Amino acid sequence: MPTMAMAFPTLPVTLTCLTLLALLSIVMAADSNSTATGLILLDCGASSPNVDDSGRIWDGDAGSKFAPSVKGVAATASYQHPSLPSLVPYITTRIFTSNYTYHFPVSPGRLFLRLYFYPIAYANYAVLDAFFDVTAGNLVLLNGFNASQTAQAINSAYLVREFSVNVSSGNLDLTFAPSAHQKGSYAFINGIEIVPTPDIFTTADTREVNANGVIPVSIPADTGFQTMYRLNVGGDAILPIYDSGFYRSWNSDSSYLFGGSGVTVSKDFNLTIQYTPTVPNYTAPFDVYATARSMGPNAQDNLNNNLTWILPVDAGFSYLIRFHFCQIKYPITKVNQMSFFIYINNRTAQQRMDVIVWSGGIGRTAYKDYAIMAIGSGQVDMWIALHPDLESQPEYFDAILNGLEVFKLQGYRSNNLAGLSPPLPQKPDVDPSRLPSVGRKSKGGKLAAVGGTTGGFAFMLIALTITCVTCRQKKVAKSSYKTDCPHLNRLTECRKSTCDLVCRFTFAEIQLVTKDFDEAFIIGRGGFGNVYSGEIDGGTKVAIKRFNQKSQQGFHEFQTEIEMLCNFRHRHLVSLIGYCEEKNEMILVYDYMAHGTLREHLYNTRNPPLSWQQRLEICIGAARGLHYLHTGAEQGIIHRDVKTTNILLDDRFMAKVSDFGLSKASPDIDNTHMSTAVKGTFGYLDPEYFRLQRLTKKSDVYSFGVVLFETLCARPVINTKLPEEQVSLRDWALSCRKKGALEEIIDPRVKEEITLECFRIFAEIAEKCVADRSIDRPSMGDVLWNLEVALQVQDSASYNSSCAESASSLQITAVDSDRPSTNSTISVAAQEAIFSDIAHPEGR
C-alpha cells in the first residue's frame, strides 16, 4: 500500500516495523462498531476503511451510504507534512468542482461536526484555488473559505473546524459548494467526524456581559456553535482519545497568556477529583480539572497584576465563554480563603468568585458560563483576566482557572457561523507583532509573551529574551579568550546577540590544552566522540567534547547544544564555557564536572556508594534542572535524552543535567504536535512517544522515572543477562511494586538508610512517572515537589537514631500502591524556592 510506505519516511526500518506492530495491536483493540454510538468517521477520498494513529477506524467515502453516487475526485496529497498528527484522514481528499451534499442519517439532537482540512496541492488542483462554502442543513458553517490562507494565518499545515449543531430531523445534510465568486475554484474535504452529544451548551445559567452590566440570558436550544478555543489551562494538550467521550482536543493555554504570567498548579496527590451532579463527567476530562493556572505565591505581585489571556475571535458574533474551575491544592478548602474577579474584555463579569462556594468543596468540579458580543470588524482580541478580590478579605490573594472554552454562536436570527478569512501575517518570519497574539509586552516589561504560533521562531524569541536578562545579570571575565566572542554571529541569528557568556576558542588553543588530544586526557567516550579534560585561564578545569566528524547527527546536535546552553543557564544545567568550530572540527568546552556521571556512582563502578540522602539530593537537582527547562521558557524545552549518564556531578555532588543535542522546543497548541523521528535511549524511551511519535514534556518525565528507579535499585535499566521478566528495570520494578515487593530490589547499600515514609513517596512518584499514558504522569514540577517532600521526611528521620528501626519496619510492611501518598504540606519557602527558579534563572 503506497500510503503506508509514506507514513514514516524518516524512521529507520526497525522502528517502522515496531510502530506498525503497535498500530496493529491498537487496531485489534479498537471498537469497530461505531454505529452503535452514532459516531461517524468518514475518510474522504478513501475507498476502504483506514485506521488513524490513535486507533480509530475511518470509513472511506467511496461507496459509503453517506455519500450516495459521490461525485468529485478522490486524490492523495502530493506531500506529507511532518506535523500532520496522523495520515488518516489527512492524506486523502475529495475534491468537488460543483456542489455536492453528503447525507448523514443521525438521531435528532445535538452533535459535534468536525471538518478536517489539509490544504495542499492535490493531483492537478492548485492549493490556492480551493475557495468554497460549507453548509449544514441551512446553517452556513464556512463562507468563502480560503483553506490555505486560514492555515497560514495560524501557521499550521492542517485545520480542524469543530461545530455543534442541533439537528431536528433525522438527517444532517452537509454541502460543499465551490465559491460562486471565483471562477475555477473548488471545494475539498479530507475528513468528516460526527459525534452525538447531549445538550452541553444551554443548560447552565449563562450571564451576558455588556455595557449595562451582567444580565442572565438564555441561549436558544437550537443554536449552532463553532468551537474557537478549548484550553486545558495550566496543563498539557489532551488528545481526542483521552477526552471524556466526545473526542475533543484540549490545548495548552500558554500560547495565549499575556505577559507570561501565572504559575501552573497540579492537584495534590491525595486529592480525588469528584464530578458534581451539575457537572457530568463528560463536561471535561479529569485532566482538565487536575491542572490549573494560578497567579503565584507572591501576594503583592498578584495585587499588582492580572492573570490575563488574549484570544483572537471574529468580530460581529456573540461568544459563549465557559470557565472550568476546581480547587486542587491544599490548604484551600474553606469558603473565603480565595476570592477573585473575572474580567471579560475589561468588564467585570464576576465579583467574589469563590471556587469553594461555587463547587461545594476542594476537588469538586464546576463551571461558569458567560456570553459576550465581540464588537469591531475582522478579527478582534478577546481579553480574559482574573484578579484577587479583596472585598471579603480572603486569606490568599490569588486566583485559579482550570479550563477555558470559547464558542462562537450562530448569528442572532441568521443562519451564519462563518467569519471572514483571517488576515495573513505580512512577514511571518520577521515581524512578531503581526502574528496573531504574539509579542505583547508585559506590564512589568520583563518577558514578552509569546503565543499564537509555535515552532522555532517563537522559541527563539523567548530564548532571546531570557538570555538578555541572564546575560546582563552576570558577566564572566574570561578575558584571554574573550576577543573572538563577537564573531559568534557566524552561527544562528539567536546566538548573535545573546552569547557574551560563551567564548569561541581557536583549534590551536584546544590542541594546546589537550596536548593535541592526548589519550591520557580522555575522560569519557560516546557515540559523538571523546571528552577530554584540560585547563584554561591558568587553572580553570574544563571538559572538552570533540565531536566525531563522521557522526551524521553531529553538526545538528552541536548547534542545538550551543543554542540551548547559550540560552538556558541554571545551576542544575551544565554550563558551556565556549566552543570551537574550525577546520571541520566541532568542539564544546564545558565546566569540568569532578565526579563524572551519576551512573558511575551507582553500579559497575569502584566509586564508593552514594548515600540515600545524596541520591535524593541529586535526583532533586536533576528534577530542578528539567523543571526549569520545561517551564523556564514560554513553550518549554524537551530534553529528549534524560538518563543517568546525562546527569553530571560537580565536586560537591551537585547534579547538572547535560547533553542537549536532542533537545527541542516543546509542542504547544494542538496544531503543532511535534511529530518527529523517535530519538532517545533504549530503556528510557517513553512508549507513547515511540508509538504515536508525539513528543511531549511527559516523555522526559517518563525517562526521569526510569532514572529514579535506577537510583533506587542501582542496576542497569536494560540487562539482557537477567531472566526475561527482569530485563527491563521499569517493568521489573513495576511488577515488584504490584506484589508489594519493591523494597526487595532496593540497592542493599542504602536499604538500611531509607525511611519507610521516604521510600513510599519516592516509589510512588517513580511509578507515576513511568505510567503508560502520558496524561497519567505528573509534571516535572510535581515530581520535584514530591522529591522535596521525600527529602524532608528523610531528613527529619535522620535526626533521630531510629533509622534502623524504620528500615526494619520497611522490610515487613507491604506497600499498598492504592494508598494516597504523603499529606505533608510544603512550606511556602519551599514553594517559593521552586518557583524562584523559574522567575530568576540563575547564571553561574
Ligand X SMILES: *[C@@H]1O[C@H](CO)[C@@H](O)[C@H](O)[C@H]1NC(C)=O
Q: State the minimum distance, in angstroms, from the CB of residue 651 to ligand X.
A: 31
Q: Which is nearer to ligand X, 411 or 554 (CB)?
A: 411
Q: Which is nearer to ligand X, 21 or 128 (CB)?
A: 128
Cell numbers at residue 732, please?
521489573
Q: State the minimum distance, in angstroms, from the CB of residue 752 to ligand X.
A: 16
Stretch that binds ligand X, among 226-234, 513-521, 672-680, 797-805 (CB under 6 A): 797-805
Residues 99-128: x where in contact with ligand X by CB under 6 A, - otherwise, as a string:
x---------xx-----------------x
- Which of 10, 78, 168, 809 touches ligand X (CB under 6 A)? 168
Flag whether 698 is marked binding: no
- Which of 12, 17, 105, 222 touches ligand X (CB under 6 A)? 222
Q: State the minimum distance, in angstroms, from the CB of residue 268 to ligand X.
A: 6
Q: Which is nearer to ligand X, 171 or 304 (CB)?
A: 304
How far, in Å, CA of 729 to CA of 715, rounded?
8
Stretch that binds ligand X, among 352-360, 491-499, 540-548, 823-831 (CB under 6 A): 823-831
Q: Which is nearer to ligand X, 109 or 596 (CB)?
A: 109
- Which of 213, 820, 836, 844 touches ligand X (CB under 6 A)? 820
Stretch that binds ligand X, among 115-123, 343-351, 518-526, 686-694 (CB under 6 A): 343-351
Single-letter amino acid code for the residue at 382: M
* 244 in contact with ligand X (CB under 6 A): yes
Q: State the minimum distance, in angstroms, from the CB of residue 627 to ligand X.
A: 20
First vs last Cα of the chain: how many Å apart? 55
Q: Is 398 in the active site?
A: no
- Which of 169, 270, 473, 540 touches ligand X (CB under 6 A)? 270
Reported for 8-13, long-range contacts at CB under 8 A and 24+ positions apart, including other chains, are: 8/693, 9/80, 10/82, 10/676, 10/677, 11/677, 11/678
Q: Note whether 527 and 681 are within 8 A (CB).
A: no
β pairing state of 251-252 and 225-232:
parallel
Q: State the minimum distance, in angstroms, from the CB of residue 131 to ligand X.
A: 3
Stretch that binds ligand X, among 41-49, 391-399, 495-503, 816-824 (CB under 6 A): 816-824
Where in 124-163 is the site for ligand X (CB under 6 A)? 128-129, 131, 133, 135, 146, 148-149, 152
Where in 346-405 is the site for ligand X (CB under 6 A)? 346, 381, 383, 385, 387
Single-letter amino acid code for the residue at 45: G
Strand-pairing partners, residue 397, are none
**Spacing of C-alpha 124 from chain mean position:** 38
Q: State the minimum distance, in angstroms, from the CB of residue 118 to ligand X.
A: 15
Q: State the minimum distance, in angstroms, from the CB of residue 789 to ligand X.
A: 10
- Which of 221, 299, 804, 814 touches ligand X (CB under 6 A)? 221
Instruction: Name the region of 459 (left: φ>0; alpha: ψ -120 to 50; beta: rest).
Output: alpha
- Which of 823, 827, 840, 844 touches ligand X (CB under 6 A)? 823
Stretch that binds ligand X, among 16-24, 610-618, 795-803, 811-819 (CB under 6 A): 795-803
The residue at minimum Cβ distance from ligand X is 823
Total number of residues binding ligand X (CB under 6 A)? 50
Stretch that binds ligand X, among 303-311, 591-599, 683-691, 835-843 (CB under 6 A): 303-311
At residue 64, the 3 state secondary structure works out as coil
Stretch that binds ligand X, among 180-188, 210-218, 680-688, 698-706 (CB under 6 A): 180-188
Q: State the minimum distance, in angstroms, from the CB of residue 90 to ligand X.
A: 19
- Which of 80, 92, 185, 318 touches ligand X (CB under 6 A)? 185
Q: State the minimum distance, in angstroms, from the CB of residue 179 to ligand X.
A: 7
- Which of 247, 256, 343, 684 touches ligand X (CB under 6 A)? 343
Q: Before 723, cis peptide (omega within 30)?
A: no
Q: Which is nearer to ligand X, 328 or 587 (CB)?
A: 328
Q: Could you say which DSSP state residue 356 is in?
A: H
Q: Which is nearer to ligand X, 244 or 681 (CB)?
A: 244
Burial state string for 234-254 with b = 16 or more CB within 10 A and e = fewer than 16: bbbbbbbebbbebbbbbbbbb
CA dihedral 469, 472, 476, 479 (to 10 degrees): 130
Q: Which of 641, 670, 700, 782 is catalytic?
A: 641
Q: State the minimum distance, in angstroms, from the CB of residue 383 to ligand X.
A: 5
State the CB neighbour count (10 A cutoff) for residue 527: 8
Q: State the minimum distance, in angstroms, from the CB of residue 132 to ligand X.
A: 8
How far, in Å, CA of 740 to CA of 118, rounded?
50
- Pick from 368, 379, 363, 385: which is nearest to 442 by CA? 385
- Which of 16, 83, 182, 415 touches ligand X (CB under 6 A)? 182
State the CB neighbour count (10 A cutoff) for residue 346: 8
Q: State the minimum distance, in angstroms, from the CB of residue 802 to ligand X.
A: 6
How far, in Å, CA of 335 to CA of 360, rounded?
9
CA triple 199-204-208, angle to 5 deg = 120
Q: Which is nearer to ligand X, 724 or 816 (CB)?
A: 816
Q: Which is nearer to ligand X, 149 or 553 (CB)?
A: 149
Q: Which is nearer to ligand X, 9 or 820 (CB)?
A: 820
Cell numbers at residue 409, please?
454562536
- Which of 304, 497, 548, 813 touches ligand X (CB under 6 A)? 304
Give one DSSP letter per residue of 421-484, joined into a string. PPPPPSSTTT-GGGSTT--EEPTTSSSEE--S--SHHHHHHHHHHHHHHHHHH-----HHHHTT
Q: Which is nearer to ligand X, 329 or 541 (CB)?
A: 329
Cell numbers at residue 27, please?
487496531
- Which of 169, 605, 813, 825 touches ligand X (CB under 6 A)? 825
How far, in Å, CA of 288 to CA of 822, rounded?
23
Stretch that binds ligand X, among 292-300, 301-309, 695-703, 709-717 (CB under 6 A): 301-309
State the CB neighbour count (10 A cutoff) for residue 138: 8
How far, in Å, CA of 729 to CA of 725, rounded?
9
- Pick from 123, 124, 130: which is nearest to 148 by CA? 130
* Sign of the dihedral defined by the CA atoms of residues 16, 19, 23, 28, in that order: positive
Residues 25-44: x where in contact with ligand X by CB under 6 A, - otherwise, as a string:
--------x-xx--------
Where in 574-593 is the site for ligand X (CB under 6 A)? none
Burial state string for 158-193 with b = 16 or more CB within 10 A and e = fewer than 16: bbbbbbbbbbeeeebebbbbbbeeeeebbbbbbbbb
Where in 424-443 is the site for ligand X (CB under 6 A)? 424
Name, in order, each residue with C-beta under 8 angstroms of 576's C-beta and a sequence gap of 6 or more. 502, 561, 562, 565, 566, 588, 589, 590
Q: Which is nearer to ligand X, 735 or 824 (CB)?
A: 824
Q: Which residue has the cell 458574533?
A: 317
* Sign of the dihedral defined by the CA atoms of residues 829, 835, 836, 842, in that order: positive
Helices (H), 31-77: none
At residue 208, the 3 state secondary structure works out as strand
Q: Which of the residues are catalytic?
A: 641
Residues tagged in the binding site annotation: 545
Residues tagged in the binding site annotation for ATP: 545
Interface with ligand X (CB under 6 A):
33, 35-36, 99, 109-110, 128-129, 131, 133, 135, 146, 148-149, 152, 166, 168, 177, 180, 182, 185, 198-199, 221-222, 244-245, 268, 270, 281, 304-306, 330, 343, 345-346, 381, 383, 385, 387, 424, 796-797, 800, 802, 820, 823-825
